[in-house]
Amino acid sequence: MQHLPLRWGRNVGIIGLVISAGALLLTPPSSPSELASLVRAYVATSALFAFFSYLAGLLACYELRKPFGRSPAEALGRIAPRFVASAAVLAAVLLLIEFLFQWRDGHRLGLSGNAAEDAGYCVGFMGSAALLGFLVALVSKWGLRRAIKRDGTSRGRERQEPLFSPLAGEPMTVPGPGPISAAPIAPVIAKPAAPARRSTNFILRHWRGENSLAWSYWGVAVVGNVLGLGAIIGVRLLFSTDKGFDPGPIFWVLVTSWSIVLVVLLWQVVGTWRSATRHAARRTAANLGTRWATAAKIMLVLGVIRTVAEFTQGGLLQLAETYDMAFRGDPRMPAYSLRVMRNGTEIEVSGGFKFGLTADFERVVSASPRIRVVHLTSTGGRIGEAEKLNKAISRRSLLTYVPTHCESACTLAFAAGRERWLHRSGKLGFHGPAFPGMTPADLEVATSAWKAQFKAAGFAQSFVDRALAVPSAEMWYPTVPELSFAQAITDVADGSEFAASGYPAGATAEKLAEGLAKYVPAYAAMQARLPQDFQRIAGTYYDGYMNGMSETELIAAFRGQLIPILQANKARADDAVLIEFARVTLDQYVVLGQKNPSLCYRYAAGVGSPANISDVVPQALIQRELALGERAITTAAPRPPIDPQILEALMSRVQAALAKRFTAETLGIFQLSSVPPAQHADYCNIAVALYQEIVALPPPEAALILRSFETPS
């Protein structure tokens, strides 16, 4: 008995060394130094396991001393469970030590802060220790059984030797305290023990281990699985609804299904374990081997570990996620918002796709039957909710439009549009589905369903395959040509077709002003130096946004209020700022003259309604102009009056230079109050030449002329 801990530690050490040797053969080192380090690491690991096994064996032996004293056969039956329990207790102690001293700085527990992963690690660690204890206990048990058979009848059995002859009626003589007496002892015939009554209840009979090992292991496994599967199907039918995605019933289905699995597993394992124990006892009494009972127990332990691992790695994570979805409002998903625009003809859906979005969408659309366009601005969310929104959009034959970005599950709702519009600067992001605890098979099923919906919407097969092959932790943003070629989008918007959208939910005048200030430096400079103008422009922009103005209309209104303020400050800006403004204006005239001479004429002459050039000239030019606006505001200061004589002399030099480039008749159109369309290109060319000649002058002279342009006469 006292050698059990040493035997157990020895057995584990041998197993560890064998595994280490196999690992070395499978992964040969590249150098002798690496070989030495690997050998040291493997030997140290084996020694650690051996020491752990010795401690567990020592603890188990302490508990088994009395059973061994009473009956070695009885104690042999208790070795495996006692050793398993001891190994699990030691593993729990190690986990407790790690929890107390290395919870955040340790290399295992608490790395992600995810309670489900920590629980899974703890269960797996203790389960592995228990499995190790069980396997080595079987080897030790086999060795002890051989030792008992080899040594003959043990002391316990000697004390229990019957005092009567096995032949009925033959008395036995026993030595007395005095001389040997031949007095016969009255024969005592033991009554045969009544056979144990077998239960007629199939479930109870298996639970008690009264079935044969073969039937318990194979037959009950099939029957139990069929019963469990039938119960799970019944639960799913009980909680099924016609509402589509609903996390409440999903949560209770998961809870009930896993409860059924664990109850059936407990019933199967306990009954089969008891049957294997009885089978081993009968074989031992007949001096026969018990390898099938041992193999059955090993497979039971492996099956339990596998089920527990599946639960901790899948079921537990899914339960935690669906609980958050059903009862905590899906806190990790951003809130969604709905906004009706353009006199009730368009609706914006922004934020996360979480449970309840489609129901609210249906209510709003039912109350606004004129809605024809759905704006989508979202990083994604729950696929089930996206599928519901997809059906709602498709059922009403609505258009879908993405102003800024639509990613992940949002693209599924976008695919439902009768027409699918994307802003020229908007993005669609694709990747494969994901959900905590999903197995590769589950992901394959979800991906196939997602593919089918994209293909039903008309997306190209190759595009869909590529889009959903992207891992869920990454995102693929196809270009506009790629989206058009794959028929993922039908049109590209320039900002004039639909109401402006894509701003964060709950936008206010202050938030919109902050956003504008980030992209328009001149407007940001106004906040400190011209706060009243800053607030007035912010209010105008916000009113236009809430009233459903298009992006083009909003930009025009914004520029219409900003440009006069910039013009007023340009006259008071530094000379260098004025000259840079002239260069930007020159570049704008060149681009407009090439693309739209009439627009160039309107913009240069300042006739008619304010010309919006933001959709014609490159954005780089617009940004240069806005950046100069910031410098104009920050450098604005009182300037000395302009000397008319000096200005006239400078303008005479510029006019003389223009006369060398154009005829007098062509230059004459510059004096007309209204220029015919046929001469708009000539007017634009003269404007280009005028600024070219001005910026060619020395900076002080050029700045004086330009300042006169900005100063009211």
Domain-wise residue ranges, the chain:
4-151, 203-327, 336-493, 509-710
| Range scoring the smallest mean pLDDT among 40-49, 86-95, 415-424, 613-622 | 40-49
**666 burial via Cβ count (<10 Å: 0-12, 13-18, 19+):** middle
Model pLDDT for residues 66-83, shown as the tens digit of each residue: 666 666 666 666 667 777
Cα separations in angstroms, 134 against 247, 560, 704? 41, 82, 96
List Cβ neighbours of 484 (8 Å cut-off, separation of 6 or more): 492
Highest mean pLDDT among 50-59, 123-132, 451-460: 451-460
Residues 6+ positions from 134 with CB-CB distance below 8 Å:
80, 83, 84, 87, 297, 298, 301
Query: Is pTM beyond 0.85 here?
Result: no
Q: What number of helices (H) and strands (E) belong to the chain?
A: 28, 8
Q: Output the pLDDT for position 653.
A: 93
- Does residue 698 carry a pLDDT above 90? yes
The 3 state secondary structure assigned to 428-472 is: EEECCCCCCCCCHHHHHHHHHHHHHHHHHCCCCHHHHHHHHCCCC
Instruction: Return the pLDDT at 318.
Output: 79
- b/e for 117-147, b at 16 or more Cβ within 10 A? bbebbbbebbbebbbbbbbbbbbbbeebbee
Lowest model confidence (mean pLDDT) among 52-56, 385-389, 480-484, 591-595: 52-56
Which of 194-208, 264-278, 547-561 is modeled with the greatest confidence? 264-278
* Residue range 336-493 in CATH 3.30.420.40: no
Position 684 confidence tier, pLDDT thresholds 50, 70, 90: very high
pLDDT at 481: 93
- 321 band by pLDDT with thresholds 50, 70 and 90: confident
With 70 as the cut, is the pLDDT of residue 183 above it? no
| pLDDT recorded at residue 695 | 93
Backbone angles phi, psi at 45, to 5 degrees: -65, -45
Higher confidence at residue 52 or residue 330? 330
50 CB-near residues (< 8 Å, 6+ apart): 9, 10, 12, 13, 16
Measured distance CA(194)–CA(603) in Å, rounded: 113
What pLDDT shows up at residue 412? 93
Cβ atoms within 10 Å, residue 624: 17
pLDDT of residue 176: 44
* In the chain, % of residues over pLDDT 70: 73
- Report pLDDT digits (tens) over 565-589: 888 888 889 999 999 999 999 999 9
Tell me the two tokens of residue 118: 């920590």
pLDDT at position 238 over 70: no
pLDDT at 402 over 90: yes
DSSP state at residue 488: S
Q: How confident is the model at residue 120 (pLDDT cuts 50, 70, 90)?
A: low
The pair of structure tokens assigned to 224 is 């139990």
pLDDT at 458 > cutoff 80: yes
